[in-house]
């Protein structure tokens, strides 16, 4: 649960960035701040998601959601650099 909360907070920084980019471009902080903030949330979230993996198939399916959410969050700065 904590790993998914960290993923949500990390993704929230990028959604705030997109909101500012669309509606208040003068307040947009650049890519460094959301990159650093989201990475600070994604790395512990990814480690916690990896630590919760267990042998049961049902638990693995449950733990893959925060695992993929945090792993994809680490790829966003690469994609954002191409878009902005």
When comparing pLDDT for 1 and 24, which is higher?
24
pLDDT for the residue 55: 66
> Which tokens in the block code for residue 66?
């925060």
Of 69, 72, 80, 59, nearest in space to 4 by CA: 69
In the chain, domain spans: 2-83
Of 49, 47, 71, nearest in space to 59 by CA: 49
Mean pLDDT taken over the chain: 89
pTM above 0.85, yes or no: no
pLDDT tens digits, 28-65: 888 899 999 999 999 999 999 888 887 677 778 888 88
């Amino acid at each position: 649960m904590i790993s998914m909360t960290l993923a949500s907070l990390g993704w929230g920084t990028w959604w705030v960035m997109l909101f500012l980019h669309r509606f208040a471009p003068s307040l947009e902080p650049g890519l460094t701040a959301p990159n650093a903030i989201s990475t600070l949330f994604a790395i512990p979230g990814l480690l916690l998601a990896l630590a919760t993996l267990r042998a049961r198939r049902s638990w693995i399916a449950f733990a893959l959601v925060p695992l993929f959410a945090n792993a994809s969050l680490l790829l966003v700065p690469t994609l954002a650099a191409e878009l902005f």
